[in-house]
Amino acid sequence: LRAVMRLGGPLGLVEPGVARGIALHESFGSIVAVIAEVAAKPGEIHVRRLSGAIDCGQTVNPGIVAAQVEGGMLFGLGAALNGDIQFDSGRPTATNFDAAPLLTLAQAPATAVTVLPSTAAPGGVGEPGTPPVAPAVANALFIAIGKRIRDLPLIGKL
């Protein structure tokens, strides 16, 4: 938590309508914390920055680990903002990624990841960056606008 706070800045209201929220997740032998800086106004969510810190045990190439976590965070942001799965007669209408809404380049915020040094056994680095993004964004939205959003996708809930 201290590492992501150094990278992402203090939590709370940054300016009117802009806030930073945090979330933490543990899976695959790794722990990831994410801070999302979000600007919000009625009908609009703009994620300005995602900052992450990962403790995944020993790493051979921290740059590759950081890239994997960044990719996981952006995938998680796409799911948080746009990930609406529709069903027809109990079957999903999108049966492949080409029919699912993905994050666009215009929606992709600045990202930064710090990899904590460790001598522990290696853990996973691709998947653990995804889950904490939606709650970090939702926590920032709560701080920015005072409304707790508990359903995904977040777009369309303001």
Kind of pairing, strands 44-55 and 110-115? Answer: parallel
CB 82 within 8 A of CB 129: no
Measure the CA–CA gap between 110 and 7, rounded to whole angstroms.
Answer: 12
Q: Is 76 buried (19+), middle (13-18) or exposed (0-12) by CB count in 10 A?
A: buried
Measure the CA–CA gap between 56 and 54, rounded to whole angstroms.
Answer: 6
* Residues pairing with 26 in the sheet: 31
Active site residue ranges: 127
Measure the CA–CA gap between 31 and 43, rounded to whole angstroms.
Answer: 33
What letter would DSSP give residue 17?
T
